[in-house]
Structure 1
Amino acid sequence: MMKTALHSVSYAGVWPGQARLGLDDFLERTRNLGFDAVMLMAKRPHLSLLDYDADARSRLRQRLAGLGLKVACLAGYTDFCLGAERPDIPTRELQILYVRELARLARDLDCGLVRVFTGFDYANVSLDQQWGWCVTSLRECARQAADAGVNIGIQNHHDAAVHYESLFELVEEINEPNCKIMFDAWSHAPVEKAASAGFRQEGGDLVAAVKKLAPYLVHTTVADYVHRPRYRYQPNLINYICESDALRAVPLGEGFIDYKSFFKALKEIGFDGYVAYEMCSYLRGGGSEENLDGYARKFLDYLSAF
C-alpha cells in the first residue's frame, strides 16, 4: 500500500469558506483520520520560518513523534520569474535563501524533502529568460539544500515546465543529484484535455508521464476536478461568449482525471514515495470541517485499492 500524507493547506482557510485549523489541531486531525504523514505548508498560518526557532522545532518534532506522524514534505512557495519589473530587488536570491532555511527546518524535523515551484509566465519577459532563471535558481536551491542533507522536489504547478516533457528537461538541465520531481496528475490533466481538444498538437498521457519521470519521481500530490463551462453575457448581442472552463474540486475518483491508470503506473515503476492529498480550492459541498474530513476519508478509501 502506498504511503499517505495530508497537506496542511487543506485546513488553512485559504479559500472562501474553508475551515482553518491551527497546526497542532491539524496534526491531531491528520492522525485521527488515519494518514501516515503530513505535508506542511511552509508559511503562515502553519509552518513559517518566522515562528519556528530551535526550541519550537524541538517541540514540534516531539509532538509529531507522539502522534506517530512523519513529515513527508515541507511545501515551499516560490516563483523564480517574479520581480522582473524591479531588477534592483534580489527576488531570486531571497527565495533561494528561503529554500535553504526550509531545508534546515526539514532536517530538524527528520524530513528529507522540500517542495519548490518554478515560475509563472510574465508578458514582459521572454520564455527563454524565464527558463534560464528557473534553471539557475533551482540549481542553487538544490546545492544549498544538499548541505542540509535534503532533497528539493519540483512540483509541476507554475507555468514553466508544467508539462511532463518540459519538467523532465528542466531537471536534466539542473543536473543536481538531490533535485527530484513531485509530479502531479491534477496539474497535468487539464493540459492533456487541451491537447485532445486540439489546442496542443503534442502531449502524452499520465502513464507515459510516470514512465518518463520515473528516475526522478519521489512524491505526488493529488486532487480531482470536474469541468464547469463558463460564459460571459453580451447584452448588445443577446448572446454569450464562451470562456475557459472552471475546475471544481470533487472527491478523488469522481472527476475527469484518470487516477486508476496513474496509480497503477506508479505501482509498476515501484514508486515508494508519499501520495499526499490536498484540498486547496473550493470543494463541492463547501469548506466546513465535516466536508473536509469527508473528502480526506474518501481519498484514503480510494487509495486503499492500490
Structure 2
Amino acid sequence: MKISFEVWPNMPWGRLEAAGPAWNSWGDLSSPETVRKVAEYGYDGVDFLLGHLMNVPSEQFDENLRATRAAADEAGLEIFYVANHTTFVSPREYDRERGIASFKKALDAAKVLGARSACTLLGDGFYDPPLNVLMSRKEAWRQAKEAITEVALYAKDLGLNVSIELLQGTILNKVELVERMFDEIAMDNLRVTMDTGALYVAVKPFMSVRDAFRRLAPYIDIVQIKDEVGLPTIVGTNHIWFGGGLVDFRETFDALAEIGFDGCVSVEWEGWQVGGQIGVGEPAGIGLANFDRVAEESLEFLREYGFTTARERA
C-alpha cells in the first residue's frame, strides 16, 4: 500500500451550517504548490478535492491541471484520485443533473492528472440529510443506481475507475448494500472508498471491520484514514485528531495487510472544518487548520501502527 495526502479547498461544502465558511492553511495555495508541500513531508502521493483544482479563473482550469500534474511528476508523486462529493440522489432533478455533470468534470480532471479514480459519496444522502421524508427508499435506490451507472460508463471510456464511498448518511451505508448495488450494475470499473470514520461508527455495529474489508476486498481502491467519535449516524459524528477517537488503527493496518491491499491510504483530515456537536469538525469546536502540522504529524502517528510509505520501504 501507499500513503497519500488529500488536499482540500476552503469552504468545500459551501456555507455548511455546521461548519460555516471553513478555512485551512493550504486552501488558498495553488494546487502545484500543495503537491510540492506533500512531497516535502514524504508521502507517496497526493489527492485532490475537485474544488481545489477549480480554485482558479475558469479559463485557467485546464492549465492548472497540467501544471499540477507536472509538479507531481517532478516531485515523484502519484495522484491517486480526484474527489467530488456531489449530488446523485435528490427530489430536485435539476440538482441531480448538475451533480452528475460535476462528477464527470472530476473524471475529466482525473484523466488529465493521470489519476486512477474519481471518488464520490452519494450526496445529498438519504438518511442525512433526511431525504426519506421527501422520497421513498425505492426511488433513492433507483436514482443512485442510474447515476452510478451513468458515470461508470463515462469513466470506462476514459479508462478510469469510479470509487463509491460507503457512508452512513447515504443509501449505501452497509457492506451488503454496496455489494447489492455493484451486483446490479455489474461494471468492472466500480470500486469502493472505505473511510475509517464510517467503518468504526457505522459499519462496526453490524459486522467486524476485518469482515468488512474481507467482503469488499475485490473492490477497495481507496482507504481514507482519519479518527472519529460519535454515534453510528453522521448527524452525531465528529472528526477528531488522530489518537483521540474510536478508530483502531492497528486493526485497520492488519485488516489491509490480510487482504493484500495495494491501493492508497489517504490522510483525509476533516476536523479543520470547525463544527458543533453535530456535523463536521472536532467535538470541542476548535479545529486544526494548519495543514503543515497535519501533513507532518499524521504520518508520524500512522507509523506507530505499521503504516509506512513505499518510499520508506524501498
3-state SS in 1 of match to 2:88: coil
Q: 2:26 aligns with which of 14, 17, 20?
A: 20
User: 2: distance between equivalents of 1:216 and 1:140?
Assistant: 18
Q: In the alignment, residue 148 of structure 1 is paired with which amino acid?
A: L
User: 2: distance between equivalents of 1:56 and 1:217?
Assistant: 29
Counterpart for residue 276 of structure 2: none
Bigger-Rg structure (1/2): 1
Q: 1:249 aligns with which of 240, 251, 256?
A: 240
User: 1: distance between equivalents of 2:53 and 2:186?
Assistant: 32
Identity of aligned residues (%): 21
**Displacement, 1:267?**
1.1
Counterpart for residue 71 of structure 1: 79
CA contact (8 A) 1:146 1:178 kept: yes
CA contact (8 A) 2:53 2:61 kept: no
CA contact (8 A) 1:155 1:181 kept: yes
CA contact (8 A) 2:201 2:228 kept: no
Shift of the 245–113 alpha-carbon distance from structure 1 to 2, 3 Å rule, reads closer
Structure 1 gap ranges (5+): 196-202, 229-243
3-state SS in 2 of match to 1:19: coil
1:174 pairs with 2:174: no
User: 2: distance between equivalents of 1:168 and 1:48?
Assistant: 36
Counterpart for residue 224 of structure 2: 221
1:209 pairs with 2:175: no
User: 1: distance between equivalents of 2:39 and 2:5?
Assistant: 10
Cα deviation digits, residues 71-127 of structure 1 (max 9, x gap): 010001222112x1x44x2x3333332222322221111112000222411011011
TM-score, with structure 2 as normaliser: 0.78
| Alignment coverage as a number of residue pairs | 275
Q: 1:301 aligns with which of 285, 289, 303?
A: 303
CA contact (8 A) 1:27 1:38 kept: yes
CA contact (8 A) 2:54 2:61 kept: no
User: 2: distance between equivalents of 1:210 and 1:33?
Assistant: 28
Counterpart for residue 7 of structure 2: 8
TM-score, with structure 1 as normaliser: 0.80
User: 1: distance between equivalents of 2:164 and 2:301?
Assistant: 23
* Farther-moved stretch of structure 1 (121-130 vs 18-27): 18-27
Counterpart for residue 162 of structure 1: 173
1:80 pairs with 2:88: yes
Shift of the 147–293 alpha-carbon distance from structure 1 to 2, 3 Å rule, reads closer
User: 1: distance between equivalents of 2:55 and 2:148?
Assistant: 21
3-state SS in 2 of match to 1:279: coil
Cα deviation digits, residues 235-268 of structure 1 (max 9, x gap): xxxxxxxxx75534121x4421222222211111
**Displacement, 1:276?**
0.3
3-state SS in 1 of match to 2:218: coil
User: 2: distance between equivalents of 1:290 and 1:96?
Assistant: 33
